[in-house]
Structure 1
Amino acid sequence: MSQTILLRVGKKGAIYLPKSIMKTLGISEGDRVLVKVEKNRLILEFIPDPLSLALKVEKWCKTTVGEFEEESEKMQYELYET
């Protein structure tokens, strides 16, 4: 996918992405973007939120809260009480 769009730099250096690009990349207000400067190029790379990413992928395991708590207690015992 390749798109070229002319943007204008706003106050305090702000660059506003069009909704179409945000929708295509799955970017929402408040998301993080990595900025790289290479010679005379400005490269923006979307960094997905790990929690949002985890919620979107297919689940391959089911764990109840009780099972999680039991495993947590077991690990704590092994780490701190031996």
Structure 2
Amino acid sequence: MSQTIILKVGKRELYIFPKKVMKELGIREGDLAYIQLEGNKIIIEFIPDPFTLAIKTKKWAKTTVEEFEKESEKEQQELYS
């Protein structure tokens, strides 16, 4: 995906990304990003929210709450015994 978008520096020296871009990248207000400066270029890499990532990521295992609790209790017994 390669697009060219012109942004204007707004009040308080902020860039406002178009809603379409935000939606396409799956980012929301409050999300974090890495900013890298290379000469006169700014590279922005958005950091995925762990909860959103957990929901969107393909699942490869299934468990029930009961199985999870049983395994948790077993691990705790091994750690604290």
TM category, shorter: 0.7 to 0.9
Runs of at least 4 residues off by over 3 Å? none
Q: Specify the alignment match of 2:40 in structure 1.
A: 40
Gaps of 5+ in 2: none
1:55 aligns with 2:55: yes
State the Cα RMSD in Å. 1.2
Gaps of 5+ in 1: none
Q: TM-score, normalised by structure 1?
A: 0.87
Q: Cα deviations across residues 16-56 of structure 1 (Å, max 9, x unaligned)?
A: 10011112111112211211111111111111112211111
CA distance in 1, matches of 2:46, 2:3: 15
CA distance in 1, matches of 2:60, 2:50: 17
Residue 58 of structure 1, CA deviation? 2.5
Q: TM-score, normalised by structure 2?
A: 0.88
